[in-house]
Structure 1
């Protein structure tokens, strides 16, 4: 991924080690002195080190480069952030959490797709709050997080983590290109979106297309389909009732619409069939599409990176609705930080979680590609002045919906990836592709009891 820059020109998103990062050593010399000004009233003895495990995505730049060294200087505690690709991270977490012993890690980066199986092993945040004695114990501001983000970090009504990153899809569009094509305002409905895509593709030929999307059969394909699915009135399933919605009339219409943009209108670059998270950003930076339903946080590297050819040209709006703007819905994802119930350092681990998710660090994290889960940050006038997408994201969060969070979602999602890919490649109609997915889901649900 291209690096972004801070307003002062310094690097904001450098390439990071994909394995284990030992951080905070530079601040250890100051630890004893600085700790004198930072004495949380924690009953637990202070450990020499805390270990965090998480994925390798670059949005943690502020945590790793800035917040961890600051925490070390203030407390004298070294923090090791072990970064692993997503699947190995989940494998390690599952092995240790289900093993019955004390975990080697004190904090885990818990994603929306993980809480379905991970929640029994995570400490209850409300219980941790009751015994917290650190600097944030009296005024952490949990009410500043969006309700959707809190729900994403909860299971069966119990909050298991504190949100750090809240991702939702919003309409990214080039205002200059829309105006040049005679379009006065961003599209509010699917019909307007399709017409704008056609005109923008025609105007940008042969290299720039109307719409960008992640259409590779991989980790991004389902989430990028989500806004179209939800805004059409479709959905995935109701696990409690064993109702499958993925092949109902609205869901089929959503897939038929996106497949039509690709195969009929040819308003999406053919190589979008190979795009995932990095490619949707890089191709926006390189002027390959004029609008798209893209992650809120992607707006920072797209619109602010010095390497971006389209820097400063993007504007933002909520996702178009199928029939009207009132139909606008978006996928909701994100990450929280959670403390294992069997961590040897629960109190200090929770102090670290509160530190990195505090108002100060939530606001600073926006510099390096994060999308804060705090509405107070997204609606902050200073943030709105620097990140034009923030207030739109706050508005979209009101109707954003998370993917299913039951323990079986990973296997079911894999089947949906294959179905979407068949439709995008023109190998099956939207109805046939989703009927096949629904049949697979029925069998999987029966096997799961």
Structure 2
């Protein structure tokens, strides 16, 4: 605790007088550097956390935490496997799924796609991501129009927003899905070209998904792919995404030789490992900015001690102890660091709050696209502040600020008043 005398002197040194403008400038620069370094750390780490979290949420929202996929792409007698998975401890839901790479054609343009056959519940959950049309247009009617290629259309499907832009399709248009593995005829295998109406256009927010996926009911996908009553895989969601491997270990052992269990960590291993490495490297590199800020505090205090050497000597002759001088300069430097840290947290919060407007403004001024969805996978810049990381950044700034005060404070405390005032 500071005595009234120590606190008075500390406040006096925090606001140098008119004749000490240079010292005030150096102290102001120190506060600014601490503020910018803390803000930069908060912004970068929050954006990295947001990117990972948002990407995981969107990928899991469409693919689940894991998939059980049969060898050869067809899972027969899947009802018993589905029941076994659902009864596994830690599994919250499991749904049958079909996913197959095919081609789609519209207005003379043909592009590669991924056809997904999903259950009614999964398709209904997609409704909140629909940007045009109605998800109710996708029907589970397994009548003749879905079980044959007769008629003008074989049902309605939902397509990604980027795919719709690429081929120029809108709600109500008829697209043609091409399956090279058609029925066998006396003249060879015929390529299946089945027309579907675009019933809805969705936007997940992950560029690759919005560009490739076409969603349809499972019966429609089974008819298109000639799979009869088989499915391609089972989509699994668990209570704890980070423990998905341990939760599904019994299922993996039970289905050995029949199916493969792959979790989100395995499917997207390269992507998330790259994100983790980049996050750690960015955090380590930007931590040096806080160290630079601490050196600024050290330099400002060294200049303050040199400028106040005579005042320090007079205070010593008036009874001020070394301990009091040590506390005065430690308090002064730590307060500079604390002010800069608080200002940095506020600045970081403001930048994160208005991050989209800032990105758009910079893009407008420079004429460059700063957040390309094709590269970043996500359509917008995400951000998630981790309280633990915020506390760690704050602690790092305050600890380095405190350590930076020790040398100049010891220098001031060891000032010999006899040597300073002998010629006064």
State the TM-score bracket (shorter-chain normalisation): under 0.3
Per the normalisation by structure 2, the TM-score is 0.25
Larger proportion of helix: 2
Q: Which has more radius of gyration?
A: 2
